[in-house]
Amino acid sequence: MQKKIMNPGTIAPPVSNYSHIVRVDVADTAFIYVAGQIALDPGGKLVGENDIGAQTEFIFQQLETILKEAGGSLRDVVKSNIFVTDMSQYSTVAAIRNRYFAVDPPVATFVEVSKLVREGLLIEIEVQAVVQL
């Protein structure tokens, strides 16, 4: 088993002492664990203020970048966890999620929370992916 911790320079640095990605290679398989992603640009500024659709779109684009750096893609995602601050926004988020996971969608959890790590954030998404090497 080999574990690789990654923090791509193309996205905002972690908010605290954690990593964006942990990739674990076991035999001919890579397991990719992506920490919850939020709508912060590489400079740490909020993207899509008061717009969950814009934040969701940004996060999925960020996930594509992260997974590519780790050797995978959104097609390799097997589990997603989505946290929102307002469940009434489910249909907006689901429409975007369904576009990115149009083929072989992963299992998913969708949860409402009282708040996220920074003021103004409306959504956070974490994923797990499996890649055959």
**CA atoms of 25 and 36, how far apart (whole Å):** 21
pLDDT at 111: 98
pLDDT at 24: 97
pLDDT at 17: 83
pTM: 0.95
Q: Could you state, in chain order, the average pLDDT of each consecutive group of 10 residues for the chain (133 residues)?
A: 92 85 97 97 96 98 96 98 98 98 96 97 98 96
Write out the H or E segment, with its range, that includes residue 77. strand 77-84
Q: Which domains does the chain have, with CATH numbers?
A: 2-132 (3.30.1330.40)
Lookup result for tokens 């009282």 = 114
Strand pairing class (123-132; 107-112): unpaired
Tokens of 92: 């907006």
Tally Cβ neighbours within 10 Å of residue 113.
Answer: 12
